[in-house]
């Protein structure tokens, strides 16, 4: 009963919002962002950077960044590595499927970018940021503070998961610790 009432209210609210969800998008471009006409162009909002230093080499972090995006169900669009000094990993745009986002922001797309740079022997500086795209201006939108909070949590979780992946791979690669001996099998 309540679910039907909420669904009816969302539908009625959508009809009351002039043109919000009615923008016609074309097919997605190579980066996943649908083409659109000039009347309903995309408005972009870039997040603040989440910067961290990982105690792993850039050549280890770059594939781990890609693996983590794929584990989080993102499609990687580009990976650029330059001179073992700098790398960039960019996901394709994908639509955010959430009823409140759709109601207050209209069709909203998101993508993530990670800039990696060598920060010395065995260290990599990671700069994670996300972008939102909507047919409506996002500045001053009532959902923006919640979106920023969700982004900050997602960036921390992504970094944590990359570190976990790299630590586990290093542990497997190094094998049992030097002081640890397996009991002899007789």
Return the CATH number at 68.
Answer: 3.30.530.50
Query: What are the pLDDT digits (tens) for 37-89?
Result: 888 889 899 999 999 999 999 999 999 999 999 999 999 999 999 987 999 99
* 9-18, 87-96, 103-112: range with lowest mean pLDDT: 9-18
Residue 33: inside a domain, yes or no? no
pTM metric for this prediction: 0.77
Whole-number pLDDT of residue 31: 86
Q: Which domain holds residue 121?
A: 44-169
Nearest to 53 by CA among 121, 113, 112: 121
Residue 108: inside a domain, yes or no? yes
Whole-number pLDDT of residue 185: 57
Q: What is the mean pLDDT of residues 146-159?
A: 91
Whole-number pLDDT of residue 144: 85
Counted domains in the chain: 1
Cross-strand bridge partners of residue 91: 76
Query: What are the pLDDT digits (tens) for 27-37?
Result: 888 888 988 88
Whole-number pLDDT of residue 10: 45
Q: Spell out a b/e string for 14-37, using b for 16 or more CB atoms within 10 Å of the CB, else e.
A: eeeeeebeebebeeeeeebbbebe
Residue 31: inside a domain, yes or no? no
Using pLDDT thresholds of 50, 70 and 90, give the confidence band for residue 176.
Answer: low
Do 124 and 90 contact (CB within 8 A), yes or no?
Answer: no
Please write down the HEC assignment for all residues of 83-118.
CCCEEEEEECCEECCCHHHHHHHCCEEEEEEEEEEE
Whole-number pLDDT of residue 93: 95
Residue 7: inside a domain, yes or no? no
Whole-number pLDDT of residue 102: 80
């Amino acid at each position: 009963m309540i679910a039907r009432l909420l669904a009816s209210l969302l539908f009625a609210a959508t009809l009351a919002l002039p043109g919000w969800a009615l923008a016609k998008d074309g097919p997605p471009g190579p980066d996943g962002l649908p083409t659109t006409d000039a009347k309903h162009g995309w408005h972009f909002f870039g997040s603040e950077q989440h910067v961290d230093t990982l105690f792993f080499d850039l050549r280890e972090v770059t594939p781990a960044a890609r693996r983590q995006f794929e584990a989080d169900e993102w499609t990687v669009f580009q990976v650029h590595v330059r001179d073992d000094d700098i790398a960039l990993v960019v996901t394709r745009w994908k639509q955010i499927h959430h009823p409140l986002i759709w109601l207050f922001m209209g069709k909203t797309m998101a993508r993530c970018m990670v800039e990696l740079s060598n920060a010395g022997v065995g260290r990599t500086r990671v700069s994670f940021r996300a972008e939102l795209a909507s047919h409506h201006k996002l500045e001053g939108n009532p959902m923006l503070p919640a979106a920023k909070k969700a982004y900050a949590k997602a960036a921390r979780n992504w970094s944590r998961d990359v570190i976990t992946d790299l630590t586990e791979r290093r542990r497997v690669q190094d094998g049992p610790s030097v002081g640890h001996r397996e009991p002899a099998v007789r």
